Each structure stands twice: as C-alpha cells, then as structure tokens.
Amino acid sequence: MKFVNLHTHFYTHSENILEIVNQYPNDFSAEIPLYSIGIHPWHIDENRLSDDLKIIKEKLLLNNCIALGECGLDKRIEKIYSTQIAVFESQLELLHEVSKPVILHCVASFDEVISCKKNSGLSSPFIIHGFSKNYQVAKQLLNQDFHLSFGKYLLRNPDLGEVFKQIPNEKIFLETDTIAESLEEVYTFTAKCKNISVEEMKEIVWNNYQTVFKQ
C-alpha cells in the first residue's frame, strides 16, 4: 500500500508514492506514468482553446490519464469570469464520453462550482484540491457529494485542523501541490489531527483512491 498524492506538479519517481501529476495540454510529458490533465483558469488562452480541448479529449481516453483537471473557477484573477465558466463547462462535457474524476481549482466560487456540477448531469466524482475554508463551506460541499483534498493550507493554518477532524474519512484526499514539505509530512500532520497512526491514514486515502478512481 502506497502513499497517494492526489495533486502534485512534480513527479518525484518515488517508489512508495502513487502520484497524480498535474499536466496541461500545451505542456505535456508522456514520461509521467499517472496524471490528470485540464485547463487551469489561470491559463485559459482562447486562441488555442479548441486545440487544448482536443488534446484533453484524446488524453482522457488513455488509461494513465486518470482524471480531468485541475480545472475550475477563480474569482480572484483577471480572467473574465463568464469565460472561465464556459471553459470549465466545455471540459466537463468531455466526461460524457469517458467517466473519470474531476480535480478542481476553486477560489471564491463554491456556489458556482456546485451549480456547474449539477448542470453537467455527471456522476463523476468531484474533488476540491487544496481545501482551505471553514466547516460550513466543507459541509456545503460534502452535502453535494464532493471530496476534499488537503495539503498546503492545512500545514500553514492550525485552525484548519479542526475542520479536517470533522471531514468523514471516506471523503479525504491528501496532496503536496507545489509545497516544499514532503507528502509524508502531510500524512503525519493529518494523522495527528485525526488521532490515528500514519499507517491508518495511508489506508484511508488508499481506499478512497481505489473507490474514486476505480483502480
């Protein structure tokens, strides 16, 4: 049983870690064995949007592409919000042909992401990566069957540990994203939050990975 890293931008070649590496359609490496692919709202380029969607559609058909993402919505950037929604919805449309989970970037847009999920009609699992909000927001997402992935913000904000304690084990993922800390440090910290061993935390996340990603 390996550690599972739900979302990282760096492939470390670690034998004891199953890494889902974030990839972009215009910056892709075929050497990465397991990855997600999507258009991040920060990197929307309407001049190549059609080509990007075509590449994502092709990669989603491959076995080592196990998720769409990261994609989503962000109200704190200059990209036109209506364009972000359109691009996000265009990516979700691709999952009507191949059902895979969605790894989400969501900033100040939880109501809108929930709405997009409902409107999509998809049964695919939706995972908010880098969750950093209070339990009220977490509960809103859990009620809509989202999973929540924790990493950077949990290590930086002790108050978030109280939120993490209340998240049902079957809805938890862990990640490093771009932080300097190791994945093992994330697991150690979260195990302390739940008052369980690191091995128990590994088993929780591993079981969630197998269930959500059908691996």
User: What is the spatial distance between Cα 152 and Cα 177, in angstroms, rounded to a whole number?
Assistant: 7
- Of 115, 98, 187, give the one whose Cα is nearest residue 149: 187
Is 27 annotated as contributing to ligand binding? no
User: What is the spatial distance between Cα 17 and Cα 184, in angstroms, rounded to a whole number?
Assistant: 9
Is 70 annotated as contributing to ligand binding? yes
Q: Under the phi-then-psi rule, with left for phi > 0, alpha for psi from -120 to 50, and beta for the rest, what region is 195?
A: left
- Bridge partners of residue 102, in order along the sequence: 68, 126
Is 129 annotated as contributing to ligand binding? yes
Structure tokens at 174: 């862990």
User: What is the spatial distance between Cα 7 and Cα 148, in angstroms, rounded to a whole number?
Assistant: 12
Is 105 annotated as contributing to ligand binding? yes
Binding region for a divalent metal cation: 70, 105, 129, 177
Binding region: 70, 105, 129, 177
